[in-house]
Copies of this chain bind each other. A is one copy, B any other.
Amino acid sequence: MPAQDPLTIGGRTFTSRLMLGTGKFCDFGVMREALEASGTQIVTVAIRRVELSAPGHAGLLDALDLDRYQLLPNTAGCRTAEEAVRVARLARAATGVNWVKLEVIPDARWLLPDPVGTLRAAETLVGDGFTVLPYVQPDAVLARALERAGCATVMPLASPIGSGRGLRTGELLRTVLDGATVPIVVDAGLGVPSDAAQALEGGADAVLVNTAIAEAHDPVGMAHAFALGVQAGRAAFLAGRMAEREGASPSSPVVGVPRLPDPEAVDVG
């Protein structure tokens, strides 16, 4: 199925619909195995955390096989449009990659993005030639504005970053999906594969997961589980779900089937 159902972002085509974050793994070995088990093709890295300039630092970027993955630098930790633009440019200069997951997060408690600052930074970065994937609240009007600004995707949150509370914004997500002209990637808050499947079943194009994999008891096993969940959700979306019914509907209709002989003959203890 993947071969016939590619995901295209910024002119590149992917067969996996599961993006992974790298921020919470306890060690690089587990991280590499989890990336492998997930089948991901897009990996996001917080540039501030990479400490690009640290001398002799065997850092995160060295631990990633960049021939296999589309590197997606992100601007985590940036509180304003200005900071995010600066970090995006530093990231491009250091890595040669012009993709950026744009995060403008003034709110330290809930880690919620700033709609106005995100839109402003996105306009600037698109103008700079970046492929921009902005992290946003599930706001359909903002999503449309980001599309018009030239963003490559829109990435609405499922619940607060790192909370693992699952898809709690479904009511608004459906408004973001309705009429979207770029891929919608559900980002933040997914806790288990069924959350990811649910997002894809509803029409989301992909998901991004970090904490739910890194903090699982077995991160590699969970990475595989998310891979399956994403495939399940996409396959279901393509297959077209049944209509819900208010009431019951017999799986095995017995209308017209003659009743069997008299029950008296049967001995029930």
9 residue pairs A–B, Cβ–Cβ below 8 Å: A107-B141, A115-B116, A124-B268, A168-B171, A194-B195, A194-B229, A218-B238, A222-B236, A226-B236
> Contacting A266 at CB < 8 Å: which of B85, B114, B145?
B85
A contacts, CB < 8 Å to B: 1, 21, 23-24, 46, 48-49, 51, 74, 76-77, 80-83, 85-87, 89-90, 106-107, 109-116, 119-121, 123-124, 127, 137, 139-142, 144-145, 159-165, 168-172, 175, 178-179, 191-195, 197-198, 201, 210-212, 215-222, 224-229, 231-233, 235-236, 238-254, 257, 260-261, 263, 265-269
Q: Are A178 and B110 in touch, CB under 8 angstroms?
A: yes
Residue with the highest number of chain B CB atoms closer than 10 Å, among A23, A82, A114, A232? A232
Q: Are A110 and B23 in touch, CB under 8 angstroms?
A: no
> Contacting A163 at CB < 8 Å: which of B21, B82, B137, B249?
B249
Q: Closest B-chain residue to A218, C-beta based?
A: B239
Whole-angstrom CA separation of A267 from B127 in the bound complex: 12
Contacts of A168 in B (CB 8 A): 170-172
Whole-angstrom CA separation of A263 from B85 in the bound complex: 9
User: Closest CB of chain B to A39's CB: distance in Å?
Assistant: 12
